[in-house]
Chain A
């Protein structure tokens, strides 16, 4: 294992107009890490994730992937080129799934491998089918997203991200839009990925997942990382008052 982080947020700040959303946030994610980011809403978790997914440009700081800068405030040409080169190594799962409704489940999965990786169709289909078996949705291969439950849609979205064999997978509150009874099936898939050694950065409100599956928990509040601890340690012995107050909401 190397000691270079797969992906690294380096002193990232983000402002939207007057609104300071992130303040010098640094976060390395090592291979096989499952980093869970928790914190109250509006704490900047999602914005941090979107910066790492290259959907937002940081106002300060940079995103570094395996030693190479892929996003900086000015986005000069070499950085843009580096970003293009690693684009599909960073997968993302969204809160609202964002499956493409005009394509069947299989078509959703093979679109990027076909167009971006220029993979032969037969190979892309074979990979997609294997992934559908993995998320237990092979029978929905030809269904359209609108026919699936939220939990099923999110599992397809995970499979779609995996089809590009990313080096790191970012989850943006992947279960928040789901009814409680549908969350479990998605969390099971995520847990399975973690056991298989997938590198993951998970923004979540699922404290159980952070505690039992995460290798590290990061607590964010008001655009800053307040506390960081290995898996369960954060929950058993939070060091800061802010973290304690946050965790109290989940006890009753």
Chain B
């Protein structure tokens, strides 16, 4: 065993607030990305299920491209390529939120789709026979059931986003991972710094994941 003198005060001491403001940024990114990804997912799902073939092709192509390329490459693409193509300046934070929203949106669209298609056909037929219009049937019968089925997967997406937001470090978004990289470059204490960060992620994600599992079981029991 090597001899190592732990110096936890290098992260927990005067730099603690610096790290916590990074954590705040991480949570802000994850939360706002979840909202945007839910909207993006809805648009992709509607395109996918459209009666209009070109709309369907766009939806499917977009989903396939997003799901089959690495998220890191997508982020770099949004950050470095979009500004060239559209000759605009994109802040690294904006680029991260756009990239993550599109990525997660492609997965969330599948969640929506299985939620909507998971509602038994008979429930819609019952509505139809009773005279509800297709719109009433969707709003009153399909949506409430689909939403109930989609909530736990959406919450799991939030957990994923918390972890994925760490990729912002690569394009210098000052979330907690980036803060850690900066700190370890100045205190020369990577072991304490990155261990601390891992523990912070775990303490947030693990209870959330547990709560979601419990919630899913409860919904299934109903």
Q: A residues bordering B, Cβ < 8 Å?
A: 53-55, 87-88, 90-92, 94, 96, 98-102, 111-112, 115-116, 144, 146, 157, 160-161, 164
Contacts and interface: CB of A to CB of B under 8 A. Distances in A.
Contacts, number: 59
Given A111-B140, A115-B140, 6 more contacts: A54-B128, A55-B125, A90-B129, A98-B122, A101-B123, A111-B132
Interface in B105-136: 120, 122-123, 125-132, 136
Contacts of B128: 54-55
A146 B148 CA distance: 15
Interface in B124-182: 125-132, 136, 140-141, 144-145, 148
A55 B145 contact: no
A115 B122 contact: no
B3 interface: no
Nearest to A89: B131
23 contacts: A53-B129, A54-B128, A54-B129, A87-B129, A87-B131, A88-B131, A90-B129, A91-B129, A91-B130, A98-B120, A98-B122, A98-B123, A100-B126, A101-B145, A112-B127, A112-B131, A112-B132, A115-B132, A115-B136, A146-B222, A157-B126, A160-B126, A161-B129
Nearest to B129: A92
Nearest to B121: A98
Nearest to B130: A112
B139 to A, nearest CB: 10
Contacts of B123: 98, 100-101
A96 B122 contact: yes
Given A94-B122, A98-B122, A102-B148, A116 B131 contact: yes
A160 B145 contact: no
Contacts of A112: 127, 130-132
Closest 7 CB pairs of A and B: A112-B130, A88-B131, A98-B122, A116-B131, A98-B126, A87-B131, A92-B129
A99 B145 CA distance: 12
B141 to A, nearest CB: 6
B138 to A, nearest CB: 12
Contacts of B127: 100, 112
